[in-house]
Structure 1
Amino acid sequence: MIKIDVEKELIGSIGKMNLDVNLQINEGDFVALTGLSGSGKTTLLRILAGLEESNSYINVAGKVWQDDKHFLPVQKRQIGFVFQDYALFSNMSVIENLLFVNKDKKLALELLEITELSKLKDRNVTTLSGGQKQRVSLCRALMNKPKLLLMDEPLSALDPTIRTKLQDEILTLHKKFKTTTIMVSHDPSEIYRLSNKVIVMQNGVVKKEGKAKDVLLKTSGSAKFSFEGELLDIVKVDVIYIAIISIGQQLVEVVLSEDETLNLKIGSKVRVSTKAFSPNISY
């Protein structure tokens, strides 16, 4: 069991706010931490890692990492941290980056095999692609078999194909090493695939927590599909109005009546839902 009771004043998206988070996480959980930018997600990870001071109580598997009398330094906390920008040693090869953390060559080779990096083990990391660098970063974070693996949007800069492949590898490693994992992500599909628990933060506090389907599914009543997007424009065509809405990486058009346009404002967040009793899926 991991017990977290964190308090810290910080500057967020609304100015000064209090980070006030009280959580209990079971060992072996894969927790997705999500919410708007500036809600305190990354700060929470840094506090757990011991990279930021705070008024907090952190207990991992019965060992106090932090309370009002103790502060375990980052090098003594059994953590792995995967950053968005890889944070690799550019003057070293792939395997040297791993062995710098722990001289266990057998473990290093095992991790490289799982992530399909064995043939690149002697390559300098500067010659690798973004996806390969993130694999190395993930392997390095697991070299000490951490009690807690922290990942701060590790896949956000990668293209969808590589991202999906790395999600599979992250899940494989998580299950194999039975590591408790907390990952910051804004991608609903990623959260659904990887996590068994989702924590939504807003303005420094936990707004919701539960399973991905319960937390992220936003349909209600007879609406079968529901998507959130940004209203980009409303165009009048003959006697009808067409709303142009950005949803994810796509633009969609929705036909509106004149009355429906009256309360809509360009640039605002809107929700598009449909009563699709016989949906078609194409690809």
Structure 2
Amino acid sequence: MIDFHLRKALHTAAGPRTLDVALALAPGELVAVSGPSGAGKTTLLRLLAGLDRPDGGFVRVEKQVWYEQETRRWLPPQRRPLGFVFQDYALFPHLTVRENLAFAAAGQPGAGPLVTELLDAFELAELAPRRPGALSGGQQQRVALARALARRPRLLLLDEPLAALDLPTRQRLQQVLADVHQRFGLTTLLVSHDPAEIARLAHRVVELDLGQVRRVGPPALPAPALAGRVVALLPGGLLRVQLAGGPALVDVPAPPGRAYAPGDALVLTVGVQ
């Protein structure tokens, strides 16, 4: 069981706020954290990782205390058995794929066989001698996920790990993540803005707004969606999209978070009136 209650002052567009989140994660559970920009999602992960100091609360992982305000106990980041996958992957550019994994696995029992197992699990064996600069975005993301698991983490933290990828790659890696989560018996906290991704992967979702928990419960079913492909960029931030399976064209606002170009795949959410 991973149990925590964390508080931290936030500086948001709406003014000063306080992040205040209490949650218990069962072994093997994958919990998604969602909410608008500035809600405190990334801050929560950084507090759990020990990269930022909380203003109060505690973090208890099984029988080990990572942080406790009352007793002033503090476990530094390098001593917390967790894996953290950042949005920008944060791979060592001068190391090969195998060396990135081996660095993370150093000191773990059976580090060599573990690295080989992870290379196979993420279909990276043929890429093992390459450096990150020679990999695609999807391949780098698989390396980042494998490297996080090389530490044999009790807690895996994922900060929008698939947000920058195109739709087909994102969907493939969602399946990889689901398979690996089950195979390695992970306990995971996933930050995501994608309702479909949350519905596909998470057992529960925590919805944050300005640092406060608005809802904890099962993921909502995503709205119906239509697949399409961008055929033109229009003034005013609009995209002209051809729907899959026919000649129909629709003009829609460009979704936030990435730049689109003609030929890019796109999924349109269908509003229910």
* TM-score bracket relative to the smaller structure: 0.7 to 0.9
Q: Deviations over 1:53-110 (max 9, x none)?
A: 0112111112111002201000111100001101001001000000011141211111
Aligned mates of 2:22, 2:254 — CA distance in 1: 33
Report the 3-state secondary structure (helix = DSSP H, G, I; strand = E; otherwise coil) of the residue aligned with 1:273: coil
* 1:246 to 1:273, Cα distance in 2 relative to 1, 3 A: farther
The Cα of 1:173 is off from its aligned counterpart by 1.0
Asked which structure has the greater CA Rg, the reply is: 1
Q: Secondary structure at the match of 2:73?
A: coil
SS at match of 1:38: coil
Cα-Cα RMSD: 2.3
Hey, what does 2:104 align to over in structure 1?
101
Q: Does 1:134 pair with 2:135?
A: no
Aligned to 1:257: none
- The aligned counterpart of 2:68 is 67
Match in the other structure for 1:189 = 196
- Give the number of aligned pairs: 234
Q: Tell me if 1:110 matches 2:111.
A: no
Aligned 1:186-265 pairs, distance under 5 A: 186-213=193-220, 246=253
Structure 2 counterpart of 1:56, one-letter code: G
| Match runs of 1:22-171 below 5 Å | 22-54=22-54, 55-68=56-69, 69-103=72-106, 104-171=111-178
The question of whether the paired residues in 1 share the 8 Å contact of 2:199 and 2:222 is answered with no
Q: What is the deviation of 1:179? A: 1.1
Gaps of 5+ in 2: 226-236, 239-250, 256-265
CA drift of 1:137 comes to 0.5
Cα 1:19–1:102 shift into 2, 3 Å? same
Residue 31 of structure 2: SS of its match in structure 1? strand
**Alpha-carbon distance in 1 for matches of 2:12, 2:141:** 28
| TM-score, normalization by structure 2 | 0.80
Amino acid at match of 1:143: A
Q: Percent same amino acid at aligned positions?
A: 43
Instruction: Give the structure-1-normalised TM-score.
Output: 0.77
Structure 2 CA distance for aligned equivalents of residues 106 and 129 of structure 1: 26
Deviation at 1:13, TM superposition (A): 3.2
Structure 1 residue ranges (4+ consecutive) displaced by more than 6 angstroms after TM superposition: none
Shift of 1:246: 4.0
CA distance in 2, matches of 1:245, 1:136: 34
Once structures 1 and 2 are overlaid, which stretch shifts more, 86-95 or 13-22? 13-22
CA distance in 2, matches of 1:21, 1:250: 32
Q: Which residue of 1 aligns with 2:272?
A: 273
